[in-house]
Structure 1
Amino acid sequence: MSSPILNDDQWLKLLEYVAEAFNDVTLSRGFTYFKQQRVASLSISETRVVQARVAEEESGEYRVILNLDKPGSSQCSCPVPAACKHMAAVWMELGDRLGYPASQIMNAKMHLKRVTSTTSLESTLLQLPKMDVSGWHKFLNQFTSLIKATYDLGNYVDMLRQHLLNIKKITIPFSDMDQIFFDMHQELFILRKLKEQNAQNGVSYYTSSTLYRVYDEIHTWLKQKSPLLDFSVSGERLEQTLSYIRQQMAEESGHSYQDYGVYTVLWKHWVAPDPKASHYITKEIEALETIDLDSQSPSLSAAKAFLYLQQSRSKEAWRALKENDSFKEAPAKLFIPFLDHLYNTQNWEDLVNWLRRSASFFNKKRTKELDVYADFWTKAIVHLPQAEEYMWSVLEELLPYSFRIIEDMLYEQRKWKPWLEMQILQGHDPLYHRVNVLQPIEKDTPKLLLPYYHQAIDYYVSLKNRHDYKLAVRLLKRLDKVYKKMKQTERWEHFFSGFVERHSRLRALQEELRKGKLLG
């Protein structure tokens, strides 16, 4: 035939008729007849009437007449007045011959629900470009409502992402920029779902590690997408997104600053490179300033300070942080991005001021943040030498946690006298260090090493055992080199002869001196 007997729309209408006219038992019996191939001699007339015979084991066969245009007027010669198993079997046979699964007839109600649901989903997906981002999040919430969280939140994230991939199976008329924003909000949605689970179940190592991993992934994603952005055609989406993240920061409790981290990455890699960046910053500050101070979370205060700093309003940025009630409990990590910005913009005076003001927040057990903080000081005084006095004063205030930092700085700056004093204070004699550590001092000011060596030699001799005598001899040989470096061999000979005479009764020491070829 030139045209199909049934098209897809007609097939769906037929399913609607079957779902209404036949009960489940009749359809099940009809399906059994269909599988047993009891439908014979099926034919279709030009008037779209189907005639078929259905075999029965005991009573011969029944004649079935189906009207494709008016299914309700169909007939069967069996005693059942309408919608019998024979008619159901013929409908299934017809569908099978026309390429439609017979199982759809048997499960007509379920199939219609699935089709309705799919049609509704497609309709909703096609509306996504017209929605704002809050509409996107409502849709994502409904779309993933059947995905239940598990104890393993990493698995929960994987299930959410896998389910969200189904959206890509339907072509949505997004612009290129809208597609990027929609992809980003899917990630932001996953973050929100994770935070909800944390709030309900409490934070454990497994939940927090998953959360940190997902935050790291979105940071990376934001950086990767930055070259593709054009806010001249998507400024409204950007403002909607900033509003959404502001809301997330407002709900963020304590000093986690995770949503604040997303916010700052968004600004650095998406907004800052845009020619209209100053316009967006001004609008965003206005939005943040309308929020009541008493209801501001630490993240919102940090966001405001971050934007003030983009405008080189350093004092206002510090004030914005300080105005928050929980400012004193802020973690050291909060200040690193601010210090980094001041360094990158070469604002040396403000960098020193922030280093001095934030010092107390780093007065904790030595961490990576304390090392970074000290490194900023080192960089600052290169450009602002007069600030070195402040640096040493601050580092002394951070003792004992800054002890190693001070020690390293003194060594790097070749301040040998205070560095050696710190070694003595810690009980570190010359043998504690590799030879090459003391070589620069031998070259610059060997005289400073004399008391360091003499004190250590006296100490090892005083222990009066063979092992320590050997160590004393090693130090004596190195001390000999120091005197030669100073071109004071006579002074060495005077000291050594006195040393040997003074300890002449220590036979073991005398033997070690001979082994070390210091005595003939």
Structure 2
Amino acid sequence: MEDPRIMFELTYENLFQNIRPYFSSIILKRGWEYYREDMVERFRMENGSIVQAIIYGSDLYKVRLDIKHFSSSECSCPYNGYCKHMAAVMFEAVRQVGLQPLQFLTPDRKLMINSKPAANHKPVDTLFAVQAEMDLGGLQVSASVSNGGISNPTLPTIAAAEGASIAIKPVTTPKEVGSVTDWHRYFEKQFSNYSIYSSGALDSFFDEVSSKLLIFGQGWNPSLKVLYEMNVLLFIMKRTDVLQQQIERNYSYYSHSYGQGFRAISKQCYEQFLVLDSQMNSMEVSQLNPSYMQETAAFLAAYSSPKHSSMMRWRDTYSLLWWGLLRDEARIGNEKDRLESISEHQEQLSPRQKQDISMNLALFDVIEGNDQQAMQRTNKLPNRQPSLYVFFLQAFMTNQEWDRLIDWLKWLRPLVQSSGTSHMETYFHYWQEAAKHRELAEEWLDIVCSMLPSSFTYYSRYLLKHQQYRRWIDLQMIFERTPFEIEKESLKLIEAHDRNLLLPLYHLSVERFILQKNRAAYKSAVRLMKKLNQYYKHLGEQEHGQRYLMHIKKQFSRYRAFQEELQKGKLIQ
């Protein structure tokens, strides 16, 4: 069988001599980012020397490369010259014929000619992104010259020093004496080609990856085993993001049907992170090689703030790991420097990335006890939601730092109130927990009252719990709730205490239904009047009930349909 590289006439020799000179180093690096983000689609080779593909940039662009006569190659983008889209397709062409795409970046002709091609069509170049994250060898997570000094938060820029030799380590199964980098290289090798063809296939993705990778950690040092399992989860989250991007790009009309599967994976990952975090022994962790933590931190730096939409709980995971596993003064200092360096280029960041950076810096403020600084840092963020702060509240409650928890709850009150009812349950849950350990009954009640009507449910529960039944009835009437809208258990509780308290609620509801002037409302009013008759009977005040019935019959005597419903209900003859 003929060598596909000869058929395609694409070798390191002609790459270096005939093609690479057309591209500047900046264009190559930009093209590498597009290639690594799976932006190249509909790739096909024709006639041994023609490559055609569609690439997703700010728009859809059609690229045509002529390997024999490269000067006739073209791209439909507005850039006048050999562009990053053409470079990205070139990297994909290199991979398709079994060569190593990353070597197309280096200007070292000797390295290219002497290097052996990869053994299969998905070579170890898929692992270079991981190498970059880990800051190893000749590859670094660095500020890109091509984008004004900002590394892509989703995928690090690959920077190869001029003339530097890049050593490619063989991929081996994860070992206890290995490194986080080695683990991820193996993860990539096993699952880099994993594809999803139906929403149902997502259901088994988490279990499939876990079953194939977690087995290697059996019998390891307990803390190292937990760290390894955490990195498996990080890889699952990263790989799920890639799958989500592919689905949204290729099957956009059906992408909503995959949403439940992606959310399920996110939930599984975070729940397992919580389990592993609770198992981690801080004393044993401190004895592990610091490089494990550094590499894990580098992975988070590379992937925890994706520029594309993601259903993974990256921010919570980032917070959880830095609060526990990665917590170290020097390491935190380095991470803060990295975040602040990126934040200096706000104009090049998406709103989501800006928010991630601010919240991550606020996390470190909180870790260092600078709560006021954390509040100030995030106070002006656009689209703030109370959910951004739940991790802090949970951490304070777990550590029993009740005064800090109360300070944050007070500070969050305006934000929670303006967000409607969606965050009330969580907010008042933490208030109730704090109230168990501090004298806060009156203060808590003032806050609940001040947040009405959003806090109606919580205030209503409070009144019932403390047997303030008359105030509870008043609250229902103020907010125009009818007995049909109130839980039956609550009504039975009031009945058992004192039926007299319910009479005003029923009277008011009857008249409100009648004034709606429609048949359905009249029927509801009659049902309530029947219930009133029962109450008066139990109270021994049938005469009062009869007078009330006659009063209503007379007051609304011109409402013919209502009078008919009274007769049907056998309240009048």
User: Same-fold call, TM > 0.5?
Assistant: yes
Residue matched to 1:245: 300
Residue matched to 2:316: 261
Residue type of the partner of 1:387? E
Structure (1 or 2) with the larger CA radius of gyration: 1
Matches within 5 A, 1:353-392: 353-362=407-416, 363-364=418-419, 366-367=421-422, 369-381=423-435, 383=438, 384-388=440-444, 390-392=446-448
Residue matched to 1:149: 195
Over 3 Å counting, the alpha-carbon distance change for 1:421 and 1:128 in structure 2 is same
Deviations 1:12-57 (A, max 9, x none): xxxxxxxxxxxxxxxxxxxxxxxxxxxxxxxxxxxxxxxxxxxxxx
Deviations 1:420-465 (A, max 9, x none): 2343345444566576533544566766444334445667899998
Deviations 1:392-427 (A, max 9, x none): 35422xx4x444444344433444344323433454
Which residue of 268, 287, 307 maps to 1:217? 268
Over 3 Å counting, the alpha-carbon distance change for 1:508 and 1:267 in structure 2 is same
Deviations 1:306-336 (A, max 9, x none): 344345443233234336xxx2313332222
Residue matched to 1:196: 242
Give the conservation status (yes or no) of the 8 Å contact 2:174–2:182: no
Deviations 1:137-160 (A, max 9, x none): 345435555x25344477489689
Task: Answer 1 or 2: which has greater helix percent.
Answer: 1
Residue type of the partner of 2:443? A
Provide the C-alpha distance between the structure 1 equivalents of 2:548 and 2:204, rounded to a whole number of angstroms: 75
- Following superposition, the deviation at residue 478 of structure 1 comes to 0.3
Residue matched to 1:72: none
Residue type of the partner of 1:239? Q
Provide the C-alpha distance between the structure 1 equivalents of 2:213 and 2:483, rounded to a whole number of angstroms: 68
Which residue of 270, 275, 288 maps to 2:335? 288
Provide the C-alpha distance between the structure 2 equivalents of 1:169 and 1:469, rounded to a whole number of angstroms: 68
Provide the C-alpha distance between the structure 2 equivalents of 1:380 and 1:218, rounded to a whole number of angstroms: 29
Over 3 Å counting, the alpha-carbon distance change for 1:284 and 1:420 in structure 2 is farther
Provide the C-alpha distance between the structure 1 equivalents of 2:213 and 2:524, rounded to a whole number of angstroms: 76
Residue matched to 1:319: 376
Provide the C-alpha distance between the structure 2 equivalents of 1:461 and 1:355, rounded to a whole number of angstroms: 44
Provide the C-alpha distance between the structure 2 equivalents of 1:347 and 1:173, rounded to a whole number of angstroms: 37
Provide the C-alpha distance between the structure 1 equivalents of 2:286 and 2:463, rounded to a whole number of angstroms: 52
Provide the C-alpha distance between the structure 1 equivalents of 2:218 and 2:169, rounded to a whole number of angstroms: 9
Residue matched to 1:336: 390
Over 3 Å counting, the alpha-carbon distance change for 1:136 and 1:320 in structure 2 is farther
Matches within 5 A, 1:180-195: 180-195=226-241
**Number of matched residues?**
378
State the TM-score, normalizing by the size of structure 1: 0.56
Residue type of the partner of 2:504? P
Give the conservation status (yes or no) of the 8 Å contact 1:339–1:354: yes
Residue matched to 1:351: 405
Give the conservation status (yes or no) of the 8 Å contact 1:420–1:452: yes
Matches within 5 A, 1:36-435: 124-125=171-172, 132-142=179-189, 144-145=191-192, 147-152=193-198, 155=201, 178=224, 180-202=226-248, 204-225=255-276, 227=279, 230-236=284-290, 237-251=292-306, 258-266=313-321, 271=325, 280-290=327-337, 291-292=339-340, 293-294=343-344, 297-322=354-379, 327-362=381-416, 363-364=418-419, 366-367=421-422, 369-381=423-435, 383=438, 384-388=440-444, 390-396=446-452, 399=453, 401-430=454-483, 433=486
The answer for unaligned runs of 5 or more in structure 1 is: 1-112, 272-276
- The root-mean-square deviation of aligned C-alpha atoms, in Å, is 5.1
Q: Secondary structure at the match of 2:304?
A: helix
Provide the C-alpha distance between the structure 2 equivalents of 1:167 and 1:349, rounded to a whole number of angstroms: 43
Provide the C-alpha distance between the structure 2 equivalents of 1:173 and 1:217, rounded to a whole number of angstroms: 24
Q: Relative contact order: is structure 1 or structure 2 higher (C-alpha 8 Å, sep ≥ 6)?
A: 2
State the TM-score, normalizing by the size of structure 2: 0.51
Over 3 Å counting, the alpha-carbon distance change for 1:166 and 1:512 in structure 2 is closer
Give the conservation status (yes or no) of the 8 Å contact 2:233–2:269: yes
- Following superposition, the deviation at residue 259 of structure 1 comes to 1.6
Give the conservation status (yes or no) of the 8 Å contact 1:253–1:297: no
Over the matched positions of the two proteins, sequence identity in percent amounts to 14
Q: Secondary structure at the match of 1:328?
A: coil
- Following superposition, the deviation at residue 475 of structure 1 comes to 0.3
